[in-house]
Amino acid sequence: MARDGNISRYSIACLILSYHRDFKDVPQAFTGPKELALRLARVCYNHLAGEQGVKLYDSMIKRKLLAFDEDHSSLIPKGEKFVTLFGVNLESLKNLRRLLCKCCLDWSVRRNHLASSLGSAMLDQMVKLKWAKRDSESPAIHFSVSGAKQFEEI
């Protein structure tokens, strides 16, 4: 039997297996809402969150509409043009006391989504375009079939 110091590899393996056997029935931690609608899309404060919120943020980063470093996001000129064409009044957002662009950690997906005044304005525009509808009884956001298709193109 090979030995490492005073403990054999066999002893180490037995210890690991016993630890695993003792804790195999411990339930795994579950993050986020159990309700599928809330995991898919919901309001976080006043902006889009859930899987759809993360998709929007990721798409804007991938298309180089947002610049991102560490915990800070910023809208770049190409992004300014995009959100203006989408129907967001960017000039009015720039005059607010709130930050224009900020990321927010999504607690169900454990990745960032778009927050602050831009995140709120993007969600408001999706509702205005009838892509999505706010649930009156919960924070869920429900996308129409055509709205979901158009959202995927963002």
- pLDDT tens digits, 33-84: 678 889 999 999 999 999 999 999 999 999 999 998 766 789 999 999 999 9
Share of the chain above pLDDT 70, in %: 77
CA 68 to CA 77: how far, in whole Å?
14
Task: Show the tokens assigned to 127.
Answer: 């509702």
Taking 3-state DSSP, the helix, strand and coil percentages for the chain, each rounded to the nearest 5, stand at 45, 20, 35
Query: Which tokens hold the place of 25?
Result: 């029935």
In angstroms, the CA 90 to CA 114 distance is 15
- The vertex-145 CA angle with 90 and 63, nearest 5°, equals 40
Name the nearest CA neighbour of 154 among 111, 120, 133, 123. 123
30, pLDDT greater than 70: no
How confident is the model at residue 21, as a pLDDT?
56
pTM (predicted TM-score): 0.77
- pLDDT tens digits, one per residue of 88-147: 999 999 999 888 999 999 988 889 999 999 999 999 999 999 999 999 999 999 999 999
